[in-house]
C-alpha cells in the first residue's frame, strides 16, 4: 500500500481517516524507516466505545478460557520473535540479541500471567461479622475480584513489546479490555505484537492499538472518561498524566537515578562487571540502569581502573552487528546527553575516555570525580554516560541517594550482609539490590518507585491485583 502501518481497532487493521501519518526515524541511519497512522480523536472515541462493550462479554468468559487464549498468544509471540526483534533493531536500535530476548521474555511473561491469574483470581474471601464489637454472627461477607473496565496501556520506547505485554496480560486475565498507545519509536514492533494477539483469536474490540501524535491524542486518551485505569511507563509525562487523569487507578513507572554504593570490603571485580552491565547495557537507556556510582574513596582508584578496562572492550556501532553500544533513540536525546557531558566538563569532571559522538551514536563514557554541583550528579542521561562520585563514608552515599527526586532502585556492594541490610533500609528507593546491579526482572518480582519514580507497584501479581477491584456480597441472616 502506501507504506503506512495500519492501526488496530474492533478486530481489524485500519487506515486513519485523518489521512496523516507519523514517521519513525531509524536511530542509526536517522532516516524515516516506517510510518504509522496518525489517529484522530474520533477514532479514539470509537476504540474506547468498542472496548467498553467488548469488556462486558469478556468478563463473563470463564477465567480458564481467558488463560488459554493468553497461553496461545504467548506461543504465537515466541514464534514471531524474529520479525518483531527486527523491528526493535530498526526502530529503537536495540542490539539484535537483546531484541530477541525482549520478545521471548514477553512470551514468558504472558504465560506466567495467565497461570498467576487463574490462581489469584480463582480465590475470594469469606468473612463473618462477629469478630467486630457489637456484632452477632448474622452477616456473611463474600468477596471476589472484579475487573475495572477499560485499561489504557502506555509503554515507553525502550521496551515497546515487553512493557506493553506487562500491562496487556494482567489487564486481560483480570477481565478488562485493553487500549494500547505504543511509543512512536517501537510502534511497529508493538503492532506486530498485537498481531500475535489477533492471531490467537481474542474477541473483536477487546484489544486495540491506537497510533499517533501525543499532541493530538495523548491528553485525549489519558483524560478520556471511558478509561478506567492507566498503566504508564516513561518519563516526566507521567507526572502530567497523574495531575490530569480522572478518579481512576494509576500505575506509573517514571524515571530513576539508581545509585550504586560501594563499600571498602566489596568484591571489586564483581562491582566492575555490574557497573558496566548495569550502566551501559542498551546504552544506558533503561530506567533501572546504574546512573550514579558512589564509591568509598579508598577503593575508588582501583575500581575506576577495573571499570575502564571493561569499558574499553565494549563494542560501539550498529544494532544489526549486535554492538554493546548503539545509537541512542533520537537526536534530541543525544543532544541532551551531550549537554550533561559538557556541563560536567566545564565544572571539572575527570574524563576516563575521550568524549566521542557521531550522529546519535555516543561512545561509552565514565566521568570520575563528579561533584554535586554538576547536573549529571542528579539528572538522568538515559545514555551511555556514567558519573562516579567519591565518598568518605557510607552515610554520604545514602545521603546523595536520598537527596534525589527519584527513588526507583539502588544497589549496594559489600560482603557484610548486616551492613547491606541496614543500608537497604536507609535507601529511599522501591528496591535495593545487594551485590548486583538494579533490574526489574524476574518479571514476577514487585517493581516500584518512590517519590517521582512512580505510583503503585508492578510485577505480574501486583499488576493483576491493581487492575481489579474488590466486590463483596453480604448475606444477612435472620
The footprint of ligand G3H (CB under 6 A) covers 158-159, 286-288, 439-441
Shortest separation between residue 415's beta carbon and ligand G3H, angstroms:
25
- 136 has catalytic annotation: no
Residue, CB closest to ligand G3H: 287
For ligand G3H, give the closer residue by CB, 149 or 284: 284
Cα separation values, 412 from 22, 99, 271, 430, Å: 43, 29, 9, 14
Nearest to 326 by CA among 365, 286, 283, 382: 283
Find the angle CA(385)-CA(454)-CA(8) to the nearest 5 degrees.
Answer: 90
For ligand G3H, give the closer residue by CB, 287 or 391: 287
Shortest separation between residue 113's beta carbon and ligand G3H, angstroms:
16
* Catalytic, out of 113, 287, 401, 411: 287
For ligand G3H, give the closer residue by CB, 122 or 442: 442
Determine the Cα–Cα distance for residues 404 and 386; give it in Å rounded to an integer: 16
Q: Which three cell numbers stand for residue 307?
A: 571499570
CB 363 within 8 Å of CB 390: no
Helix (H), strand (E) at residue 116: helix 96-120
Shortest separation between residue 287's beta carbon and ligand G3H, angstroms:
3
Helix axes 63-79, 81-92, angle to 10 degrees: 70
Find the angle CA(432)-CA(164)-CA(184) to the nearest 5 degrees.
Answer: 110
CB 43 within 8 Å of CB 209: no
* Catalytic, out of 116, 253, 379, 380: 253
Shortest separation between residue 92's beta carbon and ligand G3H, angstroms:
12
For ligand G3H, give the closer residue by CB, 24 or 163: 163
- 87 has catalytic annotation: no
Shortest separation between residue 328's beta carbon and ligand G3H, angstroms:
14
- Looking only at Cα atoms, what is the longest distance across the chain? 82
For ligand G3H, give the closer residue by CB, 38 or 161: 161
Residues forming the active site: 253, 287
Amino acid at each position: 500500500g502506501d507504506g503506512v502501518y495500519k492501526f488496530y481497532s474492533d478486530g481489524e487493521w485500519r487506515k486513519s481517516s485523518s489521512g496523516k501519518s507519523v514517521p519513525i526515524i531509524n536511530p542509526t541511519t536517522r532516516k524515516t524507516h516506517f510510518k504509522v497512522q496518525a489517529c484522530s480523536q474520533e477514532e479514539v472515541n470509537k476504540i474506547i466505545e468498542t472496548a467498553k462493550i467488548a469488556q462486558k462479554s469478556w468478563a463473563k468468559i470463564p477465567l480458564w478460557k481467558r488463560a488459554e487464549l493468553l497461553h496461545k498468544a504467548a506461543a504465537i509471540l515466541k514464534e514471531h520473535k524474529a520479525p518483531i526483534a527486527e523491528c526493535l533493531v530498526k526502530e529503537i536500535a536495540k542490539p539484535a540479541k537483546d531484541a530477541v530476548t525482549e520478545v521471548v521474555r514477553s512470551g514468558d511473561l504472558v504465560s506466567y500471567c495467565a497461570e498467576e491469574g487463574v490462581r489469584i483470581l480463582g480465590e475470594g474471601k469469606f468473612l463473618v461479622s462477629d469478630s467486630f464489637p457489637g456484632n452477632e454472627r448474622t452477616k456473611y461477607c463474600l468477596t471476589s475480584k472484579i475487573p475495572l473496565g477499560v485499561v489504557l496501556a502506555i509503554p515507553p520506547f525502550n521496551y515497546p513489546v515487553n512493557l506493553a505485554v506487562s500491562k496487556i496480560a494482567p489487564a486481560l486475565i483480570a477481565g478488562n479490555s485493553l487500549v494500547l498507545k505504543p511509543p512512536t519509536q517501537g510502534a511497529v514492533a508493538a503492532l506486530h505484537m498485537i498481531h500475535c494477539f489477533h492471531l490467537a483469536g481474542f474477541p473483536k474490540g477487546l484489544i486495540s492499538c491506537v497510533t499517533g501524535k501525543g499532541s493530538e491524542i495523548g491528553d485525549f486518551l489519558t483524560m478520556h472518561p471511558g478509561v478506567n485505569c492507566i498503566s504508564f511507563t516513561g518519563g516526566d509525562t507521567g507526572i502530567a498524566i497523574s495531575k490530569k487523569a480522572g478518579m481512576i487507578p494509576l500505575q506509573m513507572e517514571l524515571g530513576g537515578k539508581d545509585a550504586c554504593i560501594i563499600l571498602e570490603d566489596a568484591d571489586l571485580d564483581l562491582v566492575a562487571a555490574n557497573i558496566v552491565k548495569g550502566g551501559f547495557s542498551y546504552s544506558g537507556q533503561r530506567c533501572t540502569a546504574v546512573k550514579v556510582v558512589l564509591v568509598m574513596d579508598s577503593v575508588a582508584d582501583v575500581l575506576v581502573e577495573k571499570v575502564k578496562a571493561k569499558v574499553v572492550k565494549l563494542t560501539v556501532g550498529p544494532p544489526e552487528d549486535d554492538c554493546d553500544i548503539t545509537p541512542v533513540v533520537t537526536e534530541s536525546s543525544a543532544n541532551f546527553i551531550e549537554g550533561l557531558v559538557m556541563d560536567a566538563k566545564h565544572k571539572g569532571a575527570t574524563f576516563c575516555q575521550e568524549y566521542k559522538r557521531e550522529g546519535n551514536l555516543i561512545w561509552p563514557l565514565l566521568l570520575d570525580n563528579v561533584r554535586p554541583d554538576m547536573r549529571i550528579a542528579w539528572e538522568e542521561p538515559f545514555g551511555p554516560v556514567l558519573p562516579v562520585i567519591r565518598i568518605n563514608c557510607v552515610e554520604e552515599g545514602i545521603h546523595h541517594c536520598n537527596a534525589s527526586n527519584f527513588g526507583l532502585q539502588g544497589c549496594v556492594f559489600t560482603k557484610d550482609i548486616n551492613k547491606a541490610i541496614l543500608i537497604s533500609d536507609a535507601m529511599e528507593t522501591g528496591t535495593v539490590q545487594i551485590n548486583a546491579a538494579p533490574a526489574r526482572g524476574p518479571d514476577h518480582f514487585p517493581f516500584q518507585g518512590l517519590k517521582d519514580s512512580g505510583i503503585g507497584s508492578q510485577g505480574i501479581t501486583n499488576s493483576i491485583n491493581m487492575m481489579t477491584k474488590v466486590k463483596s456480597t453480604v448475606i444477612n441472616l435472620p
